[in-house]
Chains A and B, each alone.
Chain A
């Protein structure tokens, strides 16, 4: 129970990520997902304290001996609550901040700010004060600030939670572009199975600080018992295929193409 003493947030987590891999991490509240994100950017243990065992190594940098400030040039982070990481009064300054502290030339900073704002569709709002932006727009600014330095690893904790459905698709596109253009690796924590199914190569299911599943998203999303155990709402198409199966029309699909094909067949073939 939270607050009743020291909490073991992670208990022996072992995994490796390749360059260019898109990894989704899912699991119930309190599973340790956010702690894992903080460990990847060295905020755990340097800023949070606590007892730390094992090793986290990102591109041969061990977080035990690398401070968060140094790690930040290589690992971009978007936190769950965008308000916690926005601190300037102008959107474009927010995005330029990390680039300026890396000492990049002014023209390069300008180019990267333009690129990042364009990617999250916030160019129109570049001179506005983040305080007057909507929750979803603030999240887009936070994402722009995280991708502008072109990190080798991007860690996003529920990045699409306050985004509209198109915004969520755009973020997925940005992540795919980062992989294509920069061979960046991306780890996304999410409660949205549809989103994870759309973009991830690989899914980690985390509960009580343990990894209980490490494999393809599609396989996990067809296993209702596994999803219930990890407090994940099945993607709507998987739910529909289960409903039809239960009601006498066996079906097994989870992508839009599969569903569309499987469901149109009985309606088009002559009896």
Chain B
């Protein structure tokens, strides 16, 4: 059984805007799916259906076999962890440690396990030094780490991250996404919403391209970012390496080499093949 199964999903907002217009896809356990698409294409709206924050106008969303339109939000919350685009929408406790302990405690886990989980996440995110501080006064980068750590402490099967890299410098992005990647390696799944194509090629195993509430392309990051016609139809600009691969394609360069090392190796092979 797939972890996520979305069938003919439609969603309209109260102001009449049709945000999702027939979305179909399935995600298996262990996948790391990047969700890309122009602003307003429905990425966040789609993601909010995965934990039942939004209910379908029509169609069906199953997560771990539960129909999100009918399942209890609490039962879903154990399966799906959601990190909001704006970390301030989810941070509410008076100390960092309280915040990170909140979800496992709410699940009724014994205090010892709650404590261990909080310690583990605080160590993984470098938050031990600020454990006793109020999250509200931390820098945006640290607040983002607290938000992600507090969701990971609940150990959900599916982690949904909406633009987790925004406002972080390169070192912080690396810390946060490396931790997320470790988390997935325990057989869990990640859905990552981002506009940063370098993150897509670096971390994701699969990429969904959304445009005007529909999925336009679905494949490996290289296949989707190398598909210049799908990107053009979505009104997306291919990342620099994809454009470069495209420009060299008449000379034999593969168009799905959109990550530095993959591009470099494909190019060396091409040059060596000529001599």
Contact = CB atoms under 8 A, between A and B. Distances in A.
B166 A233 contact: no
Given A29-B172, A30-B139, A249 B271 contact: yes
Interface in B181-232: 195, 197-198
B108 interface: no
A137 B40 contact: yes
Contacts of A227: 170
A132 to B, nearest CB: 5
Contacts of B264: 240, 243-244, 247
A191 B163 CA distance: 14
A222 interface: no
- Among A125, A158, A266, chain B packs the most CB atoms within 10 A around the CB of A266
A168 B40 CA distance: 14
A62 to B, nearest CB: 29
B248 A267 contact: yes
B70 interface: no
Interface residues of B, number: 59
Nearest to B43: A134
Contacts of A162: 39, 85, 163, 166, 195
Contact of B40 (A1, A80, A134): A134
Nearest to B17: A132
B112 interface: no
A28 interface: yes
Given A128-B15, A231-B170, A260-B248, A81 B195 contact: no
Given A162-B163, A165-B239, A28 B171 contact: yes
Given A81-B86, A163-B39, A236 B260 contact: yes
A27 B133 CA distance: 25
Interface in B15-38: 15, 17, 37-38
Interface of A: 1-3, 27-30, 80-81, 83, 125, 128-129, 132-137, 139-140, 158, 161-169, 191, 194, 227, 231-233, 235-237, 239-240, 243-244, 247-249, 256, 259-260, 263-264, 266-268, 271
Q: What 5 A-B pairs come out closest when comparing CB atoms?
A: A136-B39, A231-B169, A233-B170, A29-B141, A165-B237
